[in-house]
Amino acid sequence: MVAVIKTGYSIHRIMNYNEIKVREGVARCIGAGNYPIDPEYMGFDKKLNFLRDQLELNLRSKRTSVHISLNFDPSESNLSEEKLVQIADGYMDKIGFGNQPYLIYQHFDAGHPHLHIVSINIQRDATRINMTNIAKLKSEPARKELEKDFGLVRAEDHCMELAYRPEPIDLTAVEYGRLETKKAIQNVLEHVLEQYNYTSLPELNALLGRYNISAYIGEEGSRVHAHQGLLFRIIDTNGKPIGIPIKASAFYNRPTLKKLRENFDRGTVKRMPYRTRLKATIDRVLADGQLPLGAFVEQISQKGIDVVFRMNDEEFIFGVTYVDHVSKCVFNGSALGKNYSAKAIQERCVPSAGRSTGKAQQTVVRESMGNQATVKQNTYSFIPGLDPYWKGRSFMHELVHNLTQFENTTEYIPYEFSMNKKKKRKKRK
């Protein structure tokens, strides 16, 4: 079992997310803790207002909503509702929420059985439950005890974190303006943003690109860019957008640029202990020095690490990012050291005939992957950057682009001459 705890500012937003799933038929409210009546006899307003009434006891605290997901192994799909409620009740009691009001939702929109629990951290005496380091101090011990008590599959034995990676968005199912596009992006963002450690938007895009999604801050001079907004959009395997972009504020967890910057700061610290592990894994795969580049990408992906190369218009490899799904960390090659840069990795692999870098190596990767579309899509893709036309453009590309642009001549017309002339009124005789 894998448990994920998230806190937020809006209990209404979290409730609305789960209730929409219920209305769509992909979730069901199967239990309620410390509510006066059973959930089947309560509508949306009664469920929400009971939580809001307790929140009003403490108006000073801001981050008061709690959203928990309990994820089970795919082999445990036969767990009954009664047993799931018992597991949820036991978990809430062990992490210190046994006396709090909470709602239990069973979701059916993923490849594994899982629960969502909605609660608050304000108690009846108006005090706030301390959430600092709750995942390590309380959640992990509770998870291990419940695995033993209910005979659940242990997360450590089966690498369940990897099993719960959502599938890439089906590009053939994307349609302009369809609600399914937003739901597909939401499912990935919910899984990725808080669980992984990254330090920049390009690193996040290397991770999101594995799921055919890109985060985009708009062109320089645009309204989105000027107001520091953020858009999420679906992309194809070459980094080109498909469909219409969706504002970050439209998603229930509001993954705005301001919030992502907090994640960047957090990721800088939290990913450091896993830097050595990633370097050691790369070194072991390349130990004999006789591995082609494409084979390196395939073999290291089997260890839970995606390798994302960055290329320019001529398909020349100039950068690399590593997405470690085991430690949930993303590293640019330069963050690991010179020996793990794109150029160094190509030199450590067996070169193609006649050339050791650039487009010839790109051909080697494509040929070694053959028709394995999912491997090619997931581990070898372009990274859409901050510029909408970004695909590894060099300085010279940008210089030529700027020099050949048409000038907007109206900007150079003096203000006095650009004004409309006023018609002279004839004086009456």
* Domain residue ranges of the chain, discontinuous segments joined by +: 2-163, 171-271, 273-379
The encoded tokens of residue 125 equal: 């005496």
- Higher-confidence residue of 425 and 238: namely 238
pLDDT of 360 over the 50 cut: no
In contact, 379 and 297? CB cutoff 8 Å: yes
Mean pLDDT value across residues 108-115? 84
Q: Residue 279: which region, alpha, beta or left (left: phi > 0; alpha: psi -120 to 50)?
A: alpha
Query: Which pLDDT belongs to residue 302?
Result: 86
CA-based end-to-end distance of the chain: 95
Higher-confidence residue: 141 or 363?
141
Helix or strand run (H / E) with residue 306: strand 305-311
Which tokens is 112 given? Answer: 């594994």
Question: Mean pLDDT throughout 187-205?
Answer: 87
pLDDT confidence bin for 221, thresholds 50/70/90: confident
In angstroms, rounded to a whole number, what is the distance separating the alpha carbons of residues 92 and 86? 10
Q: What is the mean pLDDT of residues 373-397?
A: 36
How far is residue 402's CA from residue 372's CA, in Å, rounded to a whole number? 39
Q: Dig out the tokens for 49 from the structure.
A: 């207002």
Strand order in the sheet with 241-247: 213-216, 231-235, 241-247
Confidence label for 234 from pLDDT (cuts 50, 70 and 90): confident
Of the CA atoms within 13 Å of residue 140, those in its CB half-sphere come to: 6
Number of helices (H) and strands (E) in the chain: give both, helices first.
Answer: 19, 11
Instruction: Give the other-Cβ count within 10 Å of 67's Cβ.
Output: 22
Share of the chain above pLDDT 90, in %: 44
- pLDDT exceeds cutoff 50 at 369: no
Whole-number Å distance between alpha carbons of 232 and 79: 36
Task: Output the pLDDT for position 191.
Answer: 78
Q: What is the pLDDT of residue 170?
A: 53
- pLDDT at 179 exceeding the cut of 80: no
The pLDDT of 348-354, averaged and rounded, is: 68
As a whole number of angstroms, the distance between CA 326 and CA 251 comes to: 27
Model confidence at 427: pLDDT above 70: no
pLDDT digits (tens, 9 = 90+) for 27-78: 999 999 999 999 999 999 999 999 999 999 999 999 999 999 999 988 898 9
Over the chain, what is the mean pLDDT?
79
How do residues 245-304 score in pLDDT, each as one tens digit?
Answer: 888 888 877 889 998 999 999 999 999 999 999 999 999 999 877 789 989 999 998 888
Find out if CATH 3.30.470.30 is the number for domain 2-163.
no
| Range 245-254 burial, b when 16+ CB lie within 10 A, else e | bbebeebbbe
Instruction: Please report the DSSP string for 71-131 in residue order.
Output: E--GGGTT--HHHHHHHHHHHHHHTT-TTS-EEEEEE-SSSS-EEEEEEESB-TTS-B---
Q: Tell me which DSSP letter residue 138 carries.
A: I
